[in-house]
Amino acid sequence: MDILEIFFPVSGVKTSILLPPLIALVISFFTSMGGVSGAFLLLPFQMSFLKFTSPSVSATNFVFNIVAIPSGVYRYIKEGRMAWPLTWVVIIGTLPGVFIGYYLRVLYLPDPKAFKFFVGCVLLYIGSRLLYEITGKAATGKNKMKVLEDKFKQRAEELKKQQNARIASGLPKEEVL
């Protein structure tokens, strides 16, 4: 049926109009469980299956992030599970990365072959990190981090008790630390 087919003039690909939204749905379903937007999986689909290789493929992934991320953020805020200090650290690191990534993609990686190689290296690194996580060596590191986290929580509780004691004794809050 021609009525259900769509033609992408830039890539010259003709496909079912249902395929791209279906792929986005499947990717979003699985990646949202891990708290990521899934645009990093849409990019290989767009480049390998739809043959959409221009730098504008990155822009479509930015749009996907703009649509996908706010609902998750809203849910975390509503449930009171937003870790604001971590959120600000991520924002401070992400914003410059977005602009640097844009310029790298447009100015230095416009060639599809070079960009596919770069994306392949990034995905290979992510895959190797995931494999490392299931080894015993990673478990040792996690145990050390758990001990450090427990010490941090204990120190935070001590400071909170000191602050409450000072407030109860009439000292101003600023003098707590």
Rounded CA gap, 48 and 13, in Å?
11
pLDDT of 124 reads 94
Q: How many domains does the chain have?
A: 2
Interval 60-119: pLDDT, tens: 777 777 777 787 788 888 888 888 888 899 889 888 988 898 888 888 888 888 888 998
Per-residue pLDDT for 139 more than 90?
no
Question: How many alpha carbons lie under 13 Å from residue 37 in its C-beta half-sphere?
Answer: 17
The answer on 80 and 56 residing in a single domain is yes
Name the nearest CA neighbour of 110 among 52, 53, 51, 61.
53
pLDDT of 1 reads 60
Which residues share a beta bridge with 15?
6
The answer on 38 and 110 residing in a single domain is yes
Domain of residue 87 covers 2-134
The answer on 56 and 16 residing in a single domain is yes
The answer on 71 and 43 residing in a single domain is yes
The answer on 130 and 142 residing in a single domain is no
Hey, what amino acid is at 158? E
Per-residue pLDDT for 171 more than 80?
no
The answer on 146 and 127 residing in a single domain is no
The answer on 126 and 97 residing in a single domain is yes
DSSP characters for the chain? -GGGEEEETTTTEEEETTHHHHHHHHHHHHHHTTT---HHHHHHHHHHTS---STHHHHHHHHHHHHHHHHHHHHHHHHT---HHHHHHHHHHHHHHHHHHHHIIIII--SHHHHHHHHHHHHHHHHHHHHHHTSHHHHHHHHHHHHHHHHHHHHHHHHHHHHHHHHHTT--GGG--
Burial class (CB in 10 A: 0-12, 13-18, 19+), 135: exposed
The answer on 123 and 59 residing in a single domain is yes
Rounded CA gap, 87 and 15, in Å?
39
The answer on 129 and 96 residing in a single domain is yes
Q: Are 70 and 145 in contact (CB under 8 A)?
A: no
What percentage of the chain carries pLDDT values higher than 90? 4
Q: Are 31 and 25 in contact (CB under 8 A)?
A: no
Global confidence as pTM: 0.49
The answer on 156 and 124 residing in a single domain is no
